[in-house]
Structure 1
Amino acid sequence: MSGPVWAPPEPGAVDVHTHVVPPATSFVERLTATDPRWARLVRRADRDDVADVVVAGRLFRTVRRVAYDLDQRHAEQAARGLAGQVLSAMPELFATWAPAAEAADYCRAFNEWLAEQVVGYDGFYCGLGIVPLQDPAVAPELLAEIGRLGLLGVEIPCATPDAPLHDRRFDEFFTEAERLGLLVFMHSVGSVTEFDHAMAGTGAIFPARIGEALAGLIANGVLARHPGLRLLASHGGGGLPASVARLDFVRGMAPPTRESMPEPAATYARRIWFDPLVFDAAVLCLLIELVGTDRLVLGSDYPFLPVDPAELLRDPRLPDGLVDQVRSENPRRLLADAPGTKHEE
């Protein structure tokens, strides 16, 4: 099956880190009837402009209608001058805890739903699929299906309950993603159930987990073995800038580590793309010093954060021209060579 072909939008900002929540479907209803851990969207009787996301029987967050209504979403964002959005699953939909067979079926159902949703809108939307990383044998197979559906890549969690992403069991996944040229969007995750408030847990966990995952891909040689991997990291890469110097120190002190890191750690960090969601200009300065301005792409976490990331980019401590580069120029470079991208003649 061949899917829709995404045409790069007209000049303007392209947001590469946005999330979508599928409305209730018969498949999700069947899953949640037997296991409440599956995330589901629950419409409210008292309001039609919001809905609740329930995870494991607990309210995780209340989302605006634009999280699941793509018509209203398009109208809102187009009115703000946005030229395009890359849609990816709300991270709670990864369900890395789920039985492998059910997870694979769910991923296929989500990918097919998303591929249908992004059609139209004058090319405003494109999408990233999901795969069941808890089954390293099946996850690579779904990448080909994602490509056939016309989705531009895959969104993955920065870790699974059984193994970190730098574990050798995921080599086939990264090999296939590199071969197909798919964009791999690594999103921070972590258990927040031990926190009194789930959202407070995301603040405590997300920067550390994504930084640890990226450092692991460098330290264990994943990025050295897959030089063509197109990797996008959420939340500004979290703590990665603080790890690079130590990785290089260890590389110099322990020569055997050069088998997995033939080049300095910073070299691998500069192959990764990052959104600017660090909430502090001083932190963003550290990331720019490490990877340069040309590896930053607009990512807003829309519609979950009530902030405009472009405001941070205008901080006087940051380089001149950064706003246009991050909002428009860099996202187009990132997406230009993705499978399914149609270039105008």
Structure 2
Amino acid sequence: MIVDAHAHYLPKDYPADAPSCFPSMESIDGSTDRQLVFGQMKFRAKDVFFEAEKRLEAQDASGVDVEVISPMPPLLRYDLPAADGLALARHTNEFTVELTSHAPERLIGLGMVPMQDPDAATAELKHIKEMGLAGVEIASNILGSSIGDEKFLEFFKELERLDLALFVHAMPSPMDRLPMSAMGTYVVGIEGMFAAASLILGGTAAACPNLRISFSHAAGGLAMMLPRANYFWGGSWNEEPKNLERAVMPDDGPSPLEYARRFYYDSMVFDRRTIRYLIDLLGADRLLVGSDFPAMLREDPAAKTLKSMELPEQDWENISHHNAYRWLGLNQPA
């Protein structure tokens, strides 16, 4: 069984009376595709983004049994006025419910909330729960603010209280110092690392020990930084016992690695050597299959690299599907 825990959708249409800042989906002559127009962004969206039948056909073609679908990240427009952001989130979430209703055992939906207004985002989580969505997707930064900032703590506490899952998707920051050509490559690695590190350093991970979080693309460069963070915390190499005489910033709390091992990470890192490192450092019980489909093409068949690694059976079963249901807090179907 394979659960693709990182896949995206787009609503097929938007209300005719929607605010002018909403996106639009324009028809394309001679095609079932649609053109997403959102401010300066234009994106040709194949019908698999919004048609349930096409999604199921694509699953079957690549050997995927279940998809966890979240909003296409450009919809996470935190620069919109808060009221418009809430209206866009509600329209998107309603579409998610409609799309997943066609095959709820194979399409598991995540919604979105207006993080530009932390209070409104927190209040909206109850509605997310009532709609039957499994959780929410947020960007790795909120208009340049780290998600570990104290102003978002009540949001994370409410997620934990409502037993909802969280998916953090790497997105560029307004303060990016790299050229636009790096937006889909280096920025993903940097932003994922910043987001996960901010939850550890900002106290959110300590305050919300039961919060279930997954990071896109294995939280970028986080795994490479964790051994150094552990040395600063406890003065140890290779996770030896603590040596506080060598520690740069001694801390009696859980180590950075212990916090990081509470999170989940999709394994879409494009190289089996990186996956082996993630398994060794974080554990096979922390990784998920992910593809970014249909924004990116899946491996053919899905999880081809993972399958080629000849993992122990229990590790494969955890990564391919068990971990996804644990992250979502859902009972795994027989």
Range of TM-score over shorter length = 0.7 to 0.9
* TM-score normalised to structure 2 length: 0.87
- Residue 194 (structure 1) shift: 8.8
- Residue 325 (structure 1) shift: 3.2
Partner of 2:40: 57
**Are 1:319 and 2:311 counterparts?**
yes
- Residue 200 (structure 1) shift: 5.1
Structure 1 portions without partners, runs of 5+: 1-11
**Are 1:299 and 2:290 counterparts?**
yes
Aligned-CA RMSD value: 2.6
SS of equivalent to 1:186: strand
Contact 1:195 1:201 in 2 (8 A): no
Structure 2 portions without partners, runs of 5+: 235-246
- Residue 208 (structure 1) shift: 1.0
Counterpart selection for 1:328 from 321, 327, 330: 321
Matching of residues 194-343 of structure 1 within 5 Å: 201-252=183-234, 253-255=247-249, 258=251, 262-308=253-299, 310-316=303-309, 319-321=311-313, 322-335=315-328, 337-338=329-330
**Is 86-95 or 216-225 further displaced after alignment?**
216-225
CA deviations 1:45-81 (Å, max 9, x no partner) are: 1422x3333332332x333210111121112313444
- Residue 177 (structure 1) shift: 0.4
CA deviations 1:24-55 (Å, max 9, x no partner) are: 2216x633xx33xx54433211422x333333
Contact 2:232 2:248 in 1 (8 A): yes
Stretches (4+) displaced over 6 A: 192-199
SS of equivalent to 2:91: helix
Contact 2:144 2:175 in 1 (8 A): no
- Residue 292 (structure 1) shift: 0.6
Matching of residues 10-49 of structure 1 within 5 Å: 12-26=1-15, 30-31=18-19, 34-35=20-21, 38-48=22-32
- Residue 153 (structure 1) shift: 0.5
Contact 1:215 1:244 in 2 (8 A): no
**CA–CA distance in 2 between the matches of 1:342 and 1:310?**
20
**CA–CA distance in 2 between the matches of 1:203 and 1:247?**
24
**CA–CA distance in 2 between the matches of 1:203 and 1:184?**
23
SS of equivalent to 2:183: helix
SS of equivalent to 2:290: coil
SS of equivalent to 1:185: strand
* Pairs aligned (count): 319
Contact 1:96 1:133 in 2 (8 A): yes
Larger relative contact order, structure 1 or 2 (CA cutoff 8 Å, min sep 6) = 1
- Residue 192 (structure 1) shift: 9.1
Contact 1:166 1:216 in 2 (8 A): yes
Matching of residues 63-74 of structure 1 within 5 Å: 63-74=45-56
